[in-house]
Structure 1
C-alpha cells in the first residue's frame, strides 16, 4: 500500500512540475528547454510505477523458473591431473623470451602445488 502511495505522490508532484514548466514556457521569457521539461516530468513521475511493475514481473518470472527447474543430481567431483608438457627452449629463441618462458613455467609449477 505504501509503495502505491509513493508512486501516486510521485506522479502528482511531477505533473505539477510539468504544469509549472508549461507556465514558464508560455511566458515571454520561456524557452524550448521549458517545453522539453513539460514532456519529461510526467515520465519521471511514472518511473517509480514502472519499476514496481518491472520488479513484480521479474519476481514472477523467477518463481516460474524455480518451479519448472529440474532437480539437481549430486555428481561426485572427479579430479583430473595432467602433467605439463615440457619442451626445451629452441636455440633460435631470444634469451629474454626464454627467460620469460622459464618464469612462466615456474609460476605454473607453483600454482599446481
Structure 2
C-alpha cells in the first residue's frame, strides 16, 4: 500500500482522476450539443464514446496498480536493459538463475510451401508462375 503513495504514484493517481473526470465532462458536453439545434448524430456518437474512454482510463489505472503489486511480490520479470540483461540495483546482489534459458522451438519464418503442378491445381500453378515472374522482374530492377 505504501508504494501507491510515492510521489510517482500520487502524480499518476491525479492524472487518472483528472482524465476520468474530463471524459465525463466531455460526454455531457457532447450529449447537450447533440440535443441543440445544430447538433448531429456525430455529437451523439461522441457522447457515447467518451464514457468508453473514461472506462478504459479506469481499467488502465487498475491494471497498472495490479502490475506494480505483482512486480513487488516478484511475480513479474524485472526490467531489462538495452542488451536484454536484467538490470540489477547492486552487482553483489545479482543472483544467477537456476532455470534453463527458454529457446524458440519453431522458426520465425515458416518453410516454403511445396510447388504445385498444373495437374494438381492449374489456377494456383498459374498464379504461382505469375508471382515468380514478378519476383524475377523485381530482382532485375533492384
TM-score normalised over the length of structure 1:
0.49
The structure whose Rg is larger is: 1
Q: Normalized per residue, which structure has more helix?
A: 1
